[in-house]
Structure 1
């Protein structure tokens, strides 16, 4: 076995340093941060190993970067991909410092430990033990920006078309189970413009909350219709979903509400097109829009993320199932997989840790994940690159 490079951190040191670099992405400007610190760490480490480094400034988002590390020449090869950002956190709900690794009860606690800075620490350890003199096809490591919000990094990277690997593995926490299918995600704001007035004379104004009540009734009907007409048994939630996520309206009990907003998200099944869902939403609310001319509007909150599906019989899936010992599955959440798939490669989502720990206070990566993840990644890199 090759000796580890003394100039590079071991696994615990690497994950500790990555988590110590805050890289929150959020739609709220007060939370949103640059990921430059994480990118600089990863770039330095992989450059030390002999990788060629490309850093992309992601357009239209300030202080956000992608990093691509490449080792080897020729076409094809393996892409190991993940996002460098984390969600925000409520420090009062954490039992330890979210930005420091705390090792307790055979678990490494820290923000991003499983979702998903830990994946890069695993890749670094695996790469330190490889004999790159015999590499036959390129190995790529991709770290993207803003996966937790707009997926701007993955969108930009897919459009840049600078590589075309044979296969790609996105290391989101799946308990090392190969994920070959997930739902799409889109979010919209429904706005109602009413007419404020004194509550003692309801007819003198137009109550936006009352119109929104009608909107919600139509959304429930649309949800029921989707549930009846679309199912996929591969998912534990087998239908498309509509979630009423946030509502805001009015300012005082004695005023007719002049404005009301509802934020919703919709999650499509593979095979459903985003434009179909948007069309059904518009048609469902059209009678209300006609009843109250100029008072109802629908706008996109964030760019939509399409659903993802990889053929279960593909070589990558069969190989991942064999090496991991797990049968492939579908998940309800969205990832960068559909954008990475645009590179023209077979793509799966498979990484250490559980999605149940992601986006939660006291997020952790269990010690039991460490050895089996390093073994699996080593086998995959040898299979596709050597």
Structure 2
């Protein structure tokens, strides 16, 4: 028996005596997801790829407004970018159901179908963002219908953000604003309905070495940026070894922090001393580590190299980074999600908006339909058999956290 079928049967037996219908209307789900997929909302650090997400936000706002939610569209500094906060009920507790409205770029020539036209085949729904993560919003819409005529004791808040796939500017803006406020938050990233309570942080950094070009026949005529960069890379690899000796978390498949030297560019000819060289690298930090502390440690290791080589070494961030995420295993939300899904909470390697929601004071878990294995690649899809169990889980979360004082 598949894990999804086992979960469905468990939920069916547990919830069959409740007084509301929890069967998803697949046709309605497909219509809603098709409309979301049809609205391009690529988020990318490369300007030629980056797109507004406002059309998606406005569509979601209209749907939730029609259901009685108080909707607030929050424009961001970037033109055409916005977040949505949709609220039903009031109180000082409650539940946030969160997702991002953007997608990654796509390789149109590698898709077997139109990435902006939802296509059903073999029990799967194909489309850009179908699983990561536009497909979560129709799950929410299906889940909330039985509750619309029932008075909530605590608020239900729907959150849709911008630019999760690039800068996470949407989540950062919300953290800076200090809202929304609630007690619990579930982010519907694709986890195959397994609750996630930990993920690593991420930093993407750049180091540029500026030396002096000259004729290669005489090293004294210049200062080689490549020679200095070899020292930089040696120092970074030494730092990596030090971090992996100091930090370890058995809750992760890769139990140590990682540092990857991703790409390097420098020089313009074999017969010229290299005048400039740039390295890009990323780091994945474990919970308990701090991005800014690590940046300081790197800077401290670069300064002596600059002094001895006579070069200028400039260290900068390619984006602001995301802190590691760790929700205690003992938290109420983790325990409830484990009970609902029948799965012990786990960790993932990818980063999410969870640290920003934690900054707002909420217990936070990442839990949603679909698999990360289908995200960020051609022919992205969400499996239909994930949808009804997802709706049931979301309904029970609402029942637990919005109907009890």
Pairwise TM-score range, normalised by the shorter structure: over 0.9
**Structure 2: where are the runs of 5+ without partners?**
1-19
Contact 2:88–2:156 at 8 Å: present in 1 too?
Answer: yes
- TM-score of the superposed pair, with normalisation by structure 2: 0.90
Q: How far apart are residue 93 of structure 1 and its match? A: 2.2
**Structure 1: where are the runs of 5+ without partners?**
none
Matches within 5 A, 1:85-96: 85-96=102-113
Tell me the residue number matched to 2:143.
126
- Report which stretch shifted further, 144-153 or 209-218: 209-218
- Report which stretch shifted further, 25-34 or 161-170: 161-170
Contact 1:2–1:128 at 8 Å: present in 2 too?
Answer: no
Distance in 2 separating the partners of 1:308 and 1:261: 30
- Report which stretch shifted further, 137-146 or 373-382: 373-382
Q: 2:28 aligns with which of 4, 10, 14?
A: 10
Q: How far apart are residue 74 of structure 1 and its match? A: 2.2
Tell me the residue number matched to 1:39.
57
Q: How far apart are residue 258 of structure 1 and its match? A: 1.8
Distance in 2 separating the partners of 1:73 and 1:167: 14
Q: 1:80 aligns with which of 79, 97, 111?
A: 97
Q: How many equivalent pairs are there?
A: 383
- Report which stretch shifted further, 358-367 or 22-31: 358-367
Matched, 1:196 2:213: yes
Distance in 2 separating the partners of 1:136 and 1:375: 20
Contact 1:174–1:350 at 8 Å: present in 2 too?
Answer: yes
Matches within 5 A, 1:318-337: 318-337=335-354
Matched, 1:264 2:264: no
- Report which stretch shifted further, 188-197 or 284-293: 284-293
Per-residue CA distance 1:108-167 (angstroms, 9 max, x = gap): 111111111111111111123334333221110000111111111111112212432111
Matched, 1:19 2:37: yes
Contact 2:333–2:363 at 8 Å: present in 1 too?
Answer: yes
- The 4+ residue runs of structure 1 with deviation greater than 6 A are none
Distance in 2 separating the partners of 1:89 and 1:196: 39
Q: How far apart are residue 46 of structure 1 and its match? A: 0.5
User: Helix, strand or coil: the match of 1:98?
Assistant: coil
Q: How far apart are residue 202 of structure 1 and its match? A: 4.3
User: Helix, strand or coil: the match of 2:319?
Assistant: strand
Q: 1:55 aligns with which of 67, 73, 76?
A: 73
Distance in 2 separating the partners of 1:240 and 1:183: 8
Q: RMSD value over aligned CA atoms?
A: 2.0
Contact 1:68–1:142 at 8 Å: present in 2 too?
Answer: yes
Matches within 5 A, 1:58-207: 58-59=76-77, 61-207=78-224
